[in-house]
């Protein structure tokens, strides 16, 4: 699961996610190298979507 591919700048991706999902906060979108599962888990809990669905959405932004 640690093969999350983030295109470009994480700050850009974070901004796009916040635009799409207004309920997300900066704390929800904290990303650290090697902590992809933790990020996906927070987003899964907040958005009620499957990890694979969230992962795919992030990669396609």
- Between the alpha carbon of residue 41 and those of residues 27, 55, the distances in Å are 13, 10
Distance CA(4)–CA(59), nearest Å, equals 7
Does the pTM of the predicted model rise above 0.75?
Answer: yes
Distance CA(19)–CA(52), nearest Å, equals 20
Question: pLDDT tens-digit profile of 6-22?
Answer: 767 888 899 999 999 99
Distance CA(31)–CA(10), nearest Å, equals 8
* Neighbouring residues of 26: CB distance < 8 A, sequence distance ≥ 6: 14
Write out residues in the chain with pLDDT < 50, as ranges. Answer: 1
């Amino acid at each position: 699961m640690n093969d999350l591919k983030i295109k470009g700048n994480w700050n850009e991706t974070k901004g796009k996610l916040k635009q799409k999902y207004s309920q997300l906060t900066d704390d929800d979108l904290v990303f650290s190298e090697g902590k992809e599962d933790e990020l996906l888990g927070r987003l899964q809990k907040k958005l009620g979507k499957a990890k694979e669905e969230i992962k795919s959405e992030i990669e396609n932004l």
